[in-house]
């Protein structure tokens, strides 16, 4: 009996030390993810919820963000451009929003500060939205931006283009991704209510124990590991909602591949993972364009904007694959690669693939110099400090 007490005490002591160690050394990696709220938009796919505030929490950073009345993470602005001001609108993805980094100074914000400090008569408005392979949605946004009287639209470039139509909305803190705009999401909402929100035991343990959080994270990120196979079979693997709880993102097609908009199959744990790389998956509206088709799409957008005297300037930040070099030879397109050589300190490594504050600073500096030297913005709009 005495030995049993000693063994029990040692086990409890080990658990306590491991728990403390994880809280001290793995706090960021194991904290709960949080996202801003989304509103589905038939034309644009989605925007952030207008006039909302929130905290974005990942394994790499924690940021407080505020969304303007138009549904973008930027300052409020006048629809009518001021006289003698050159207006730039930037349209990009998550790395361009400035939300996903370890501080408020995204390269777009730093560009704005540079224009102000140099007394340039140039203003910049950020309409970037997170999500990859959204050239079609971003093109629609560029056309809609004409009413804001931009002189130049900076458009973060995909090439060749992969078109993917995805909508996003937020329900009880979970980001829902789906392809059918008219889908009422009745089933997935019930799934959140029944499996994610009402599982008080799981929620309580996950909230208190960092050891349990680590096991959940290990289960999701290492599916082929030998130890994980045991864990999956006997413990955590019985709960298919774990990855949704950790990331707070739900792809509707993953849950309702066979039983769309119903809970049929959920009780039988019919939950399948669908890879985004599967072009034959009917629940993922994806189309890969050839180089010729991609160029034609960018030309069409450029021509449409030129009718309203708006210049489209395609760009990318870091050095890209050789396929991007084709864009430089297309006379009817404006393409400005920054060609920054990526370094490890410009990102967060395995924790996150977005740019760090240092990365944003490097991008801002190179971006300003390229814009100035390229001649896209007339010299008369630059302050005397650059003359």
Indicate the DSSP class of residue 34: B
Verify cis geometry, omega within 30 degrees of 0, for the bond prior to 160. yes
Buried b (16+ CB within 10 A) or exposed e, 179-192: beeebebebbeebb
Hey, CA dihedral for 72, 73, 76, 78, is it positive or negative?
Answer: negative
The proportion of the chain whose per-residue pLDDT surpasses 90, expressed as a percent, equals 44
For the stretch 34-71, pLDDT in tens is: 888 999 999 999 999 999 988 888 888 888 888 999 99
Domains and CATH numbers, the chain: 38-161+294-386 (3.40.50.1110), 169-287 (no CATH)
pLDDT value, residue 195: 75
pLDDT value, residue 59: 82
**Distance from C-alpha of 127 to C-alpha of 149, rounded to nearest angstrom:** 14
pLDDT value, residue 378: 93
Question: CB neighbours (10 Å) of residue 63?
Answer: 19
User: In Å, what is the CA distance from 312 to each residue of 62, 126, 148, 233, 336?
Assistant: 33, 15, 15, 54, 11
Q: DSSP 3-state assignment of 174?
A: strand
For the stretch 341-386, pLDDT in tens is: 999 999 888 778 889 999 999 999 999 999 999 989 999 999 865 5
What confidence tier does 234 reach under pLDDT thresholds 50, 70, 90?
Answer: low
Compute the radius of gyration of the chain from its Cα atoms: 24
For the stretch 146-184, pLDDT in tens is: 999 999 999 999 999 988 888 999 998 889 988 888 888
* Helix locations, 177-234, DSSP H: 186-191, 200-208, 210-221, 226-234
Q: What is the pTM of this model?
A: 0.84
**Distance from C-alpha of 89 to C-alpha of 105, rounded to nearest angstrom:** 17
User: In Å, what is the CA distance from 256 to each residue of 39, 117, 263, 272, 370?
Assistant: 21, 53, 8, 8, 47
Q: DSSP 3-state assignment of 62?
A: strand
């Amino acid at each position: 009996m005495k030995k049993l007490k000693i063994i029990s005490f040692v086990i409890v002591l080990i658990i306590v030390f491991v728990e403390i160690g994880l809280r001290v050394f793995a706090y960021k990696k194991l904290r709960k993810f949080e996202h801003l709220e989304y509103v589905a938009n038939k034309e644009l796919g989605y925007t952030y919820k207008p006039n909302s505030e929130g905290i974005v929490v990942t394994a790499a950073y924690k940021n407080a963000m505020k969304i303007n009345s138009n549904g973008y993470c930027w300052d409020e602005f006048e629809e009518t451009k001021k006289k003698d001001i050159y207006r730039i609108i930037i349209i990009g993805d998550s790395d361009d929003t400035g939300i996903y980094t370890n501080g408020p100074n995204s390269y777009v914000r730093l560009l704005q500060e540079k224009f102000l400090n140099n007394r340039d008569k140039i203003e910049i408005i950020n309409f970037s939205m997170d999500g990859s392979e959204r050239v079609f949605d971003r093109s629609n946004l560029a056309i809609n931006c004409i009413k804001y009287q931009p002189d130049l639209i900076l458009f973060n470039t995909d090439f060749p283009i992969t078109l993917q139509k995805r909508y996003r909305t937020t329900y009880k803190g979970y980001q829902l991704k789906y392809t059918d705009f008219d889908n009422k999401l009745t089933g997935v909402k019930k799934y959140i209510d029944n499996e994610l929100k009402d599982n008080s035991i799981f929620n309580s343990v996950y909230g208190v124990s960092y050891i349990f959080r680590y096991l959940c994270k290990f289960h999701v990120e290492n599916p082929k590991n030998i130890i994980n196979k045991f864990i999956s079979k006997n413990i955590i693997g019985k709960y298919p909602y774990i990855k949704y709880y950790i990331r707070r993102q739900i792809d509707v097609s993953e849950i309702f591949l066979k039983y769309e908009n119903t809970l049929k199959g959920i009780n039988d744990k019919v939950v399948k993972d669908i890879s985004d790389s599967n072009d034959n998956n009917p629940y993922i509206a994806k189309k890969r364009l050839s180089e010729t088709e991609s160029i034609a799409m960018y030309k069409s957008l450029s021509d449409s904007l030129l009718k309203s005297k708006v210049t489209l300037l395609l760009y990318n930040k870091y050095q890209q694959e050789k396929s991007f070099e084709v864009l430089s030879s297309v006379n009817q397109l404006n393409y400005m690669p920054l060609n920054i050589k990526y370094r490890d300190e410009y990102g967060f490594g395995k924790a996150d693939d977005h740019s760090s504050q240092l990365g944003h600073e490097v991008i801002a500096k190179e971006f300003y110099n390229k814009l100035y030297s390229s001649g896209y913005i007339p010299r008369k709009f630059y302050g005397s400090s650059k003359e």
